[in-house]
Amino acid sequence: MTYVDSVEEHKRSATDFLWPANVRKHNPWPIFVRRNVPLRIVRYCFADARAKQMLCKTVQDALQIWADKIGYPHGAANGHNMAWEEARTNDPPGQRQNLFCYLDNANEDPENREWNPEVLDDTLKIDFDPDLDGASSTIGWRAKKGYSDDFGRHDITIGPGTFAFTVAHEVSRPFVPKQTWTNTGSSDMEGDKHVLYQCKNVKGYQEAMERVRVTNPTAQDDEIHRHLCEDSEFAHESGFDGAEFAKSKYPVDDSSAFDLDSIMLYGSTVFANKDQCPQDPKACPLLKYDPPGQLVITSFCQHNQIPSDGDAAWIKKWYPHIGILPMVPPDGSPEGSPEEW
């Protein structure tokens, strides 16, 4: 794996953020100028020593899957300015050490860990959950709100035995403000011509319905169903995995065709009852229309293991190569060195 050269530690300032953070809820990662080159750097840290021991190889393999597709490192030849690197100390070059997200890296209790002050608050936290089947992650880059949970607000949590291609899927979510897999559920989006979302087949649907009935005793079942299946935020707050399929209420700025080959599209067995779905398509949360537009014939969605051409194009749309900036300080003054910008 090739990493961006981090000899020159970047410094945050108003001039570093060339992308307005309040344009949308989920943004691409901000631009930093390093050695006069504008880069979008996804900096990550492992939560603690156990997380690194359990996940380091899988995470590296997942990043390599993306590197093989988009070309790495950044530059004109590969057409993007994306980079990723593990958080490190701000020591002189050659002496820097990788940092854990939390100070007490032996403390495995997530409720009693203290964020490492040397780690930037928007660093992507990679954590291990021994009880998690698969992996989960946040979407895009989110601006700081001034609350204690700003630290670690970007997160990938991975369970034991998770495949690298599954982690590569989860890695794609913090990278870009797009949810290809959420183009399901109603007739007003392109995805509805290609995939069928069967919300009631998502594992935990009945339990989620019951929880909402308890907290909203006057709500009708059809109303609860609609919110659980169509409102991603409501589903998430209700502890329902259908949040992963429901359309976001935030606009998707993309006119490209629906991409059945995208690594961001879930396979039919994801979040399904594993005893029923593989044998009976009617028991699966997600199926594809074959051919597209035929509302009768359905077949399994494969769990794509590598990014598609469309995924690579999307990365290069949001993280385009910019080139080298002129050696002029932001205020137009010739004083000062590039390291101070």
Is residue 190 packed enough to be buried (19+ CB in 10 Å), middle (13-18) or exposed (0-12)?
A: middle
Confidence of residue 190 (pLDDT cuts 50, 70, 90): low
Query: At residue 155, does pLDDT exceed 70?
Result: yes
Tokens 């205020």, located at residue: 331
Q: Please report, for residues 58, 66, 81, 129, 211, the alpha-carbon distance to residue 271 in angstroms, rounded to integers and kept in the order given.
A: 21, 24, 34, 17, 19
Q: Are 180 and 275 in contact, with CB atoms under 8 Å apart?
A: no
Residue 3 pLDDT grade (very low, low, confident, very high; cuts 50, 70, 90): very low
Query: Does the structure show a pLDDT above 70 at 336?
Result: no
Q: What is the mean pLDDT of residues 307-336?
A: 72
CA 72 – CA 293 distance, rounded (Å): 37
User: What integer is the mean pLDDT of 235-242?
Assistant: 89
User: What mean pLDDT do residues 190-205 have?
Assistant: 85
3-state secondary structure 217-286: CCCCHHHHHHHHHHCHHHHHHCCCHHHHCCCCCCCCCCCCCCCCCCCCCCCCCCCCCCCCCCCCHHHCCE
Confidence of residue 210 (pLDDT cuts 50, 70, 90): very high
Q: Per-residue confidence at 326, pLDDT binned at 50, 70, 90?
A: low
Mean pLDDT calculated for residue range 215-219: 93
pLDDT digits (tens, 9 = 90+) for 292-319: 666 666 788 888 899 999 899 989 988 9
pLDDT reported for residue 285: 92
Question: pLDDT tier at 332 (50, 70, 90 boundaries)?
Answer: very low
- HSE-up (13 A, CA, CB side) for residue 335: 0
* Residue 34 pLDDT exceeds 70: yes
Structure tokens at 113: 């860990």
| pLDDT reading at 172 higher than 60 | yes
Residue with tokens 């002050």: 117
Higher pLDDT, 190 or 97: 97
- Residue 115: strand pairing partners: 102
Please tell me the distance from the alpha carbon of residue 240 to that of residue 159, in angstroms, as a whole number.
18
Query: Where do we find the tokens 């409720």?
Result: 111
Statement: residue 290 has pLDDT above 60: yes
Q: Tokens for 173, please give them.
A: 């979510």
Mean pLDDT computed over 237-259: 73
- What CA–CA distance (Å, rounded) separates 68 from 64? 6
Q: Which of 175, 162, 157 is nearest to 134 (CA)?
A: 162
The residue-averaged pLDDT of 228-232 equals 89
Among 47-61, 132-146, 152-166, 285-299, the minimum mean pLDDT is found in: 285-299
The CATH number of 31-177+306-335 is: 3.40.390
Q: Of 24, 55, 92, whose CA–CA distance to 250 is shortest?
A: 24
Q: Is the pLDDT of residue 27 over 50?
A: yes
Distance CA 86, CA 3 (A): 9
Backbone φ and ψ for 155, nearest 5 degrees, come out as: -150, 140
Q: What is the DSSP letter of 34?
A: E
Query: Residue 221: exposed, middle, or buried by beta-carbon count in 10 A (0-12, 13-18, 19+)?
Result: exposed
Reported as a single tens digit per residue, the pLDDT across 81-90 is 999 999 999 8
Res 180: pLDDT? 44
Tally of CB atoms within 10 A around 294: 10
Residue spans per domain, the chain: 31-177+306-335
Element at 65 (helix H, strand E): helix 49-70
Q: Rounded to whole angstroms, how far apart are CA atoms 27 and 20? A: 9
Q: Check pLDDT > 70 for residue 25.
A: no
Alpha carbon 317 to its chain centroid, in Å, reads 16
Q: What pLDDT band is residue 112 in, cutting at 50, 70 and 90?
A: confident
pLDDT at 325: 72
Collapsing DSSP states into helix, strand and coil, what is residue 158? strand
**What mean pLDDT value characterizes the chain?**
79
Whole-prediction pTM = 0.76
Q: In angstroms, how far is the first alpha carbon of the chain from the final one?
A: 29
